[in-house]
Amino acid sequence: MRSNNGSKTVIIAVACILSIGICPVLARQVDVITVDGPITPVVAKYINEAISRAESAGDELLVIRLDTPGGLLQSTMSIDKRILASRVPVAVYISPSGGRAASAGVFITYAAHFAAMAPSTNIGSAHPVTMGGKDTSRVMLEKVTNDAVAHIKGLARQRQRNARWAEEAVRSSINITEQEALKLGVINLVARNLDDLMEKLQGRTVEAAGQQVTLQTAGAELTFHPMGFHYQVLNKIADPNIAYLLMMAGIIGIFFELRNPGAIFPGVLGGISLILAFFAFQVLPINAAGILLILLAVIFFIMEVHITSYGLLTIGGLVAMILGSLMLYRSPELQVSLSVMIPAIGGFALFILFALYMALKARLTKSTTGVAGMVGERGSVVRPLNPEGQVSVHGEIWRATSQTKVKAGTEIEVVDVKGMLLIVKPVETDN
């Protein structure tokens, strides 16, 4: 009996030790990221990297806390595809209270493995619109809408959510609260906070990348990954209009510096603006033809300053600038706003015309400094010109030459300067 009791004691002790060692292994990790604002290419990259990080770490779940007014359809499609291919389950949690998932947010919510909303939130209004203040044709808008409807219905079927409501959200921009969304089968649950969300997701099974996964989220460790400063800056300047204005400011600054070497400040400001513009262009769908047309316009403007084209180069530059601005972005939903483009091009044209005016004025104005300022001045012959001699101009003695012989004391006028030699002619006097 003692032997058996001793064996039991040893077994219990070993089990306790193993349980202590195993507990850390069984601790589950849940990553949490926050998207608060429009869906942009930067946000798409941020979410894609978060999913890849969660997959590499073997996390139990990735939670996207979402509060968005909408965003770019192209970026939304990229996010949806990444969520659908994720090996780690993704939960979209529309929060905090008062938040919303509008437009692009509806698509992302439908793509997620689990959809949850906080109290006093809403979802809907997913009808496609264009950016930039320009309306697309009715046929084009209908094509975009039908494509969006097909996409969200496919998401609804895969996630077993309400496809009819999703279609109405796209076609009619309807909007519902969290309780209505739960009742209609648009979302899976309503959660007060993240801890409540973890409790309600505990034990739920979902298919991720072809594998059945049962979540163990109760008591899981939450790790927050806020958007880094790099992404925050890029997200601010990745707006199509801001990136365009930065590019225009950079071009003007560099142009001014080239026209006035040594000004420094315009060149520095222009260089920084161009770098920031190219920084933004790395995540925007840029059309190379648009960039080339804008650069061609700048070349035309520079040539206008040095070549007399009677305004033809300026007109050509303005046409190239307008066409380049309209073609700058490949995506039809990403366009430079007319309210931004027209003042920017108008300001640039005024700047070029001012530079052209100053250049012409400098050419037509007689120089008043240096040896070139001697042209037109009068003096008298000190030593006879035969053809060379010396003259006195402004009280200074200069070497001079004339096409005719000129006697000492004769009044002369400077007609040209070659180095330190004055070309003069005698001044005719009335008898």
Give the active site residues: 103, 143
In this structure, the strands spanning 189-190 and 114-117 are: parallel
The token pair that represents 163 in the structure block? 């496809």
| Contact criterion met (CB below 8 Å) for 93 and 191 | yes
Could you tell me if 55 and 211 are in contact, meaning their C-beta atoms sit under 8 angstroms apart? no
Which residues 6+ apart lie within 8 Å of 342 measured at CB?
A: none
389 in Cβ contact with 400 (< 8 Å): yes
Alpha-carbon gap, residue 47 to 121, rounded angstroms? 22
> Which residue type occupies 306?
H
Other Cβ atoms closer than 10 A to 289: 13
CB 381, CB 410: distance < 8 Å: yes
Q: How far apart are CA 317 and CA 346, in angstroms?
A: 12
Query: What is the C-alpha separation between 66 and 116, in angstroms, rounded?
Result: 10
Strand runs labelled E in 191-273: 205-208, 211-214, 221-224
Residue keyed to tokens 């060692």 = 21
Cross-strand bridge partners of residue 208:
211
Question: Amino acid identity, residue 292?
Answer: L
- What is the total residue count of the chain? 431
Q: What are phi and psi of 69, to 5 degrees?
A: -85, -5
| Cβ neighbours, 10 Å, residue 224 | 12
378-383/388-393 β-pairing: antiparallel
Nearest alpha-carbon partner for 60 in 119, 113, 107 = 113
Residue 308 burial by CB count (10 A; 0-12/13-18/19+): exposed, middle or buried? exposed
The secondary structure of the chain in percent helix, strand, coil, rounded to multiples of 5, reads: 50, 20, 30
